[in-house]
Amino acid sequence: MKKKLKKSRGRGKNSGEFLYKEIYEIIRKDILSGKHKPGNRIPSADELADTYSVNRLTVRKAVSGLIAEGLIYTKPAQGTYVVDEVDGVLERRNAEHANGRTLNVGIVSRMLVTDNIGFYHSDMIAGIHKGLIENKSNMTILPFTGKETETKLFDHVRKSNLDAAIYIGPFETSALRTMISKGVPSVLLDFCMKNSGTDCIVIDNASGGYKAMEHLVQLGHRDIAVVMGATDQPASSERLSGAMKAAAECGIPEKSIKVVRGNFMEISGYESVAEMIRSGNVPTAIFFMNDEMASGGIRALKELSKLSIPQDVSIVGFDNSAWSLMTSPQLTTISAPVMQMGKFAVHRLFAKIRNGGDYSPSSTQMETTLIIRKSTGKSRR
């Protein structure tokens, strides 16, 4: 049955705004009156668009406002449902409004524990923090070890009184889907999951790996090693894929590239180069999957050999973090705009929260740039 909306549906500037707000109020009233009961599915976007003779975008904006208010949540590929505790949500929102409390945004990640955090993630957090300051919001850091059960992790996040969340990968996907579908409005940062139900913002790691390898090959290097990052982080395989693609396109067979295991930590870069020196098989160029490992590799070359950089060995890093300026010579690297990525995550998050926002999830890849410094030069072999 078609229903008519009360407000003007002309072609004026604010007609779309009036429509989505009216649909928002109708659905909200149906939830509070018990017509849409707690735990039950509400009509789909297509059904609502047909009922009120509006387009899907208008419906999505209305639904997004209700998600931001905490009254409904989505289940990927299943639909949108009313939360189990409607009265509790309203009480909390009313108390916050009365107290004039700013929004509290949680940063959830296992990369924020002491042993994992480095310049890459600290720059990312700095970008998030800057974005939150501009939006007059607070930040709560929620680190975890990665060993928690799905139930325990979700319970920890749920009890933290968050208004929104930024999830920084990597994640176990089952736990992540639970937090996204049943939790507060969120975005996913530095990790992408198919049909996640929310925005995903990542670095174009494959393109960065390609640029690093292409740079070395263009300098005449054919004897090249790649020092990997941690295998449980998608960035490692993505950067390797890009590097191997560049090598293949330049006529260098995959078997000619020596791939060495690392873990993104400085000591793994040191140890990988130390082993090359001990074996007497040091390549003319090494691509490290982050600047921290590259710094360790440079230190090993200086302490354990008489080889010079870049005369004997060219070194490329990744991230363009503070590590790249602390080495001697300063490091040629791939610049990953992690600070901008953090700030953009906040922008996307508040696009959902404010005025209904944009309910359609999007995936964004941030471009990388080759920064040439003094650690790379032409091959002498």
User: Does the pLDDT value for residue 7 go beyond 60?
Assistant: no
Provide the strand spans (E) within the chain: 72-75, 79-82, 104-109, 138-143, 164-168, 186-189, 199-203, 224-227, 258-260, 285-288, 314-319, 332-335, 363-366, 369-371
Give the pairing type, strands 79-82 and 72-75: antiparallel
Residues 42 and 15 grouped into a single domain = yes
Residues 176 and 298 grouped into a single domain = no
Going by pLDDT thresholds of 50, 70 and 90, the confidence category of residue 10 is: very low
Residues 48 and 15 grouped into a single domain = yes
Kindly state whether residue 373 falls inside one of the protein's structural domains.
Answer: no
Kindly state whether residue 378 falls inside one of the protein's structural domains.
Answer: no
Going by pLDDT thresholds of 50, 70 and 90, the confidence category of residue 15 is: very low
* Domain-ending residue, one of 59, 79, 101: 101
What stretches of 291-357 show up as alpha helix (H) in DSSP? 291-304, 323-326, 338-353
Residues 73 and 3 grouped into a single domain = yes
Q: What rounded mean pLDDT belongs to the chain?
A: 86
CA distances from 30 to 4, 22, 25, 40, 257 (A): 16, 12, 9, 12, 63
How many C-alpha atoms does 265 have within 13 Å on its Cβ side? 11
Q: How far apart are CA 105 and CA 207, in angstroms?
A: 31
Does the reported pTM lie above 0.75?
no
Q: What is the mean pLDDT of residues 91-110?
A: 70
Main-chain dihedrals φ then ψ at residue 128, nearest 5 degrees: -60, -45
Residues 245 and 275 grouped into a single domain = yes
Residues 263 and 345 grouped into a single domain = no
Kindly state whether residue 356 falls inside one of the protein's structural domains.
Answer: yes
Residues 246 and 318 grouped into a single domain = yes
**Distance, CA of 328 to chain centre:** 31
* Side-by-side strand order, sheet with 199-203: 138-143, 104-109, 164-168, 186-189, 199-203, 363-366
Q: What is the mean pLDDT of residues 100-115?
A: 80
User: Does the pLDDT value for residue 356 go beyond 80?
Assistant: no
CATH of the domain at 165: 3.40.50.2300
Residues 106 and 76 grouped into a single domain = no
Which of the residue ranges 61-75, 152-166, 224-238 would you say has the lowest mean pLDDT?
61-75
**Residue 310 has what pLDDT?**
96
Going by pLDDT thresholds of 50, 70 and 90, the confidence category of residue 258 is: very high
Residues 133 and 77 grouped into a single domain = no
Residues 78 and 168 grouped into a single domain = no
The answer to whether the beta carbons of residues 348 and 362 sit under 8 Å apart is yes
The answer to whether the beta carbons of residues 195 and 76 sit under 8 Å apart is yes
**Residue 110 has what pLDDT?**
86
Kindly state whether residue 50 falls inside one of the protein's structural domains.
Answer: yes
| Residue range 337-354, pLDDT digits in tens | 999 999 999 988 888 776
* Domain-ending residue, one of 101, 134, 157: 101
Q: 181: helix, coil or strand?
A: helix
What are 67's two structure tokens?
A: 């998600």
Apex CA 284: angle with CA 278 and CA 290, to 5°? 85
What are 196's two structure tokens?
A: 């996640």
User: Domain tally for the chain?
Assistant: 3
**Residue 185 has what pLDDT?**
86
Q: How far apart are CA 159 and CA 224, in angstroms?
A: 50
Total Cβ atoms within 10 A of residue 61: 23
Q: How far apart are CA 264 and CA 285, in angstroms?
A: 18
Kindly state whether residue 381 falls inside one of the protein's structural domains.
Answer: no
Q: How many residues does the chain have?
A: 381
**Residue 167 has what pLDDT?**
94
CATH of the domain at 21: 1.10.10.10
Q: How far apart are CA 50 and CA 58, in angstroms?
A: 12
Kindly state whether residue 377 falls inside one of the protein's structural domains.
Answer: no
Q: How far apart are CA 82 and CA 63, in angstroms?
A: 11
Residues 186 and 290 grouped into a single domain = no
What stretches of 163-287 show up as alpha helix (H) in DSSP? 173-182, 205-218, 234-249, 266-279
Q: How far apart are CA 284 and CA 62, in angstroms?
A: 59
Kindly state whether residue 374 falls inside one of the protein's structural domains.
Answer: no
Domain range spanning residue 17?
1-101
**Residue 353 has what pLDDT?**
75
* Domain-ending residue, one of 297, 314, 336: 336
Going by pLDDT thresholds of 50, 70 and 90, the confidence category of residue 55 is: confident
**Closest to 198 in 3D by CA, of 235, 230, 169:** 169
Residues 68 and 137 grouped into a single domain = no
**Residue 9 has what pLDDT?**
43
The answer to whether the beta carbons of residues 283 and 312 sit under 8 Å apart is no
**Residue 154 has what pLDDT?**
80
Kindly state whether residue 81 falls inside one of the protein's structural domains.
Answer: yes
